[in-house]
Amino acid sequence: MTTAFFYQQPEVLDRDKHQNLKLRAITNARFAAEVQNVPVVAAEFAEAALEYPLVFVKADDEQWVAMALTGLNPGKNLFVKETGQWDARYVPASVRRYPFILASDGGGQFRVAVDMVATTLGSDGQPIFNDAGEPTEATQSVMTLLESFQAQASFTHAFAQRLSDAGLLMEAHADLNEPDGSTQRLQGFFMVDEAKLQALSDDQVLLWFRSGELALVYLHLASLKNLSALQMRRQRLHALKTKTLKPSRSS
């Protein structure tokens, strides 16, 4: 399972260099149309678990990341419609924050960056900086979202690491039926081993219960039922596409 995201050319915002940069309203999510999964943070589990399978993946930097599966095949997001709209009640914060992201300076500090290839950026729209070179009110709202996401991301990394340290994360796979009748295996993700969860000591269970982390574990486990819903979504989209492409009979 791939973990590529949709930022192509992130660049740290500079009040001089980007003084005239503006942002138009984001009307679609085509930028995420080719991602198979998107990051989620612990604060989103309760909402995200209702619609997406939530799994754990080890990123390139060996850090654990919680992900919402949005597709069953690399390069295809089943939640982005042909029109570009995100087809779900809850849109993960990692999608809502686009084209902005926090970039690390390598010394523990973060600065706001923007994906310079985003189609919403240009010379018209809402200014990112005001005439004095300060972030506009809209930009400050984005910064608040980014800071909140970063804080929650750090907590989520640590939470997943605690699961790993306790021996609860196991590599998993799912055998899925393709629309053509063949079977493919989705792999490269991790889930909580329920047998090992049940074997935890009473002290550990109580500790995680009081911290709220036990609830996160069960939200993760419950969310895995959405794998079948995701497969049904793919089948519906395939049937619709096949029907649309099928030539009509001439009388």
Give per-residue pLDDT as tens, 39-61: 999 999 999 999 999 999 998 77
C-alpha to C-alpha distance for 248 and 216, rounded to whole angstroms: 50
What is residue 245's predicted lDDT score, i.e. its pLDDT? Answer: 55
pLDDT digits (tens, 9 = 90+) for 63-92: 899 999 999 888 899 999 989 999 999 999
What is residue 1's predicted lDDT score, i.e. its pLDDT? Answer: 41
Cα–Cα distances in Å, from 98 out to 80, 116, 126, 155? 15, 11, 15, 21
Residue bearing tokens 């500079």: 14
For residues 57 and 67, is the Cβ–Cβ distance under 8 A?
Answer: yes
Question: What are the sequence ranges of the domains in the chain?
Answer: 10-245
CB atoms within 10 A of CB 47: 16
What is residue 5's predicted lDDT score, i.e. its pLDDT? Answer: 76
Residues of the chain scoring pLDDT < 70: 1-4, 179, 243-251
Q: In what order do the strands lie in the sheet with 64-69?
A: 37-39, 64-69, 54-58, 183-192, 169-177
What is residue 116's predicted lDDT score, i.e. its pLDDT? Answer: 92
Show the tokens assigned to 200: 């935890």
Bridge pairing between strands 126-127 and 121-122: unpaired
- Three-class DSSP category at 223: helix
